[in-house]
Amino acid sequence: MHNCRRGCMPPVIAFGLGGRKMYNQMFRFLEWINRYLPKRDIVLIYSGVEYKDNAKAMCDYLFARGFDKKCSIYYAEYQRINKEIWVNGNQHLTVHSKIFAYFMFLFSRYALYAFNPIKIMPSSSQRVIQMWHGSPLKKIFNDGIEKKYKSDYFTYFLSCSKFFNEYYQKSIPCEEERILLCGQPRNDLLFESIDKPAFLNDAKLIFWAPTFRKAKYWEQRDSDFSGMIPFYDGSFDELNADLESKGVQMVIKLHPMELCADVIERHFPCLHIFSHKAFTRLHIDFYSFVGFSDALITDYSSIAFDFLLLDRPIGYAFTDFASYKTHRGFVLDDPISLMPGNIITDKEKLLAFFQEISIGKDGYRDKRKQVNDMVNYYQDANNRSRVSSILFG
């Protein structure tokens, strides 16, 4: 990939150019260097912000399986928050910076991305996997934006289903042969049992996970909706009373990229609300907790596709469909067709969903199976093993 004859000259960096041109030429120069530097048995895991998602799932897995005895493993973040983490709860690991990641990439034989990539094309002696962080219902990459940008800084891109492959080819864009079928590594954790957290009671648990509308780390607004969740306008006492009246309990976990989701933690008898930072303090794997839940409420988030693997009820709660479609957009004209559950657009429908969960009513099993087979090619807990096989060949 991107080979060059031994005699070719490196790109010349013109220091008199403007900032953007200077920036682009710097990366062209790094790509040229990368083609010739010898690679070592190093695995670079590069994430976005904080230790989470597919990056965490793979890092935990590689250390648990002893891959650190066979090669060096480094973990780095695009925007470093913490300087150290604990892998699998007992192994100390340094969190490296973005600058370190770019330097180490030049010597790494292997790399795993879960969010933004290292913007250097891998050489023929490297194997770089972009795992991403969920199958898309909402538009991603270059879809729907005027100013296109290069996104295919990988050897392979992982897709959960052939259903998404054509979309990835167009939106990234990249060649079909570079898209490999594999489930999300994080989804393996859905099937790992955990003990009931002490703050929960014995009622059926509904997990509410809304996607973000206003990004925390960059200028992006995907909708005119500005609340945490719809229907209650911040009246959590009222929501708790409704949950109690239906005999269910709920955990609301805000999206880590949501602008308002800094440090929020509130507890009621049947309702518990966490920002991402507050939830991490529980020291419970997010996807294991999702797997512990009896039902899910979300909106346009990829977590709905993940939850289909458990074959449990899903409610899709939103009041901003038209606004979201205008601002962000969806990967297909009829996104509702990929929502095999209760479409909740007002409080009465939400209460009806609570009641159904309470009494065990489930009218969407057939539809869930249909969509699950469409969006999840693999439906087991072996995705981390598949990724490691792809990575090490």
Radius of gyration of the chain (CA): 22
Query: Which domains, from first to last, does the chain contain?
Result: 39-183+383-392 (3.40.50.11820), 192-375 (3.40.50.12580)
- For 263, other C-beta atoms within 10 Å of its C-beta total 10
Sign of the C-alpha dihedral, residues 182, 379, 45, 113?
positive
Q: CA 102 to CA 95: how far, in whole Å? A: 14
User: What pLDDT was estimated at residue 217?
Assistant: 55
Exposure class string for 216-229: b at 16+ Cβ within 10 A, else e = beeeeebbebeebb
CA–CA separation, 91 and 333 (whole Å): 46
pLDDT means over runs of 10, the chain (393 residues): 48 55 82 96 94 96 96 94 83 93 98 96 98 95 86 97 97 97 98 96 97 64 74 92 98 80 83 91 94 97 97 97 92 96 98 98 98 98 98 94
By the 8 A CB rule, do 267 and 199 touch? yes
pLDDT of residue 6: 41
| Single-letter residue type at 271 | L
pLDDT of residue 262: 60
Cβ–Cβ under 8 Å, residues 317 and 304: no
CB atoms under 10 Å from CB of 191, counted, come to 14
Q: Give the pairing type, strands 265-267 and 271-274.
A: antiparallel
Q: By three-state DSSP, how is residue 207 classified?
A: strand
CA-nearest of 294, 68, 65 to 185 is: 65
- The reported pLDDT for the residue numbered 85 is 86
What does the alpha-carbon distance between residue 176 and residue 178 come to, in Å, rounded to a whole number? Answer: 5
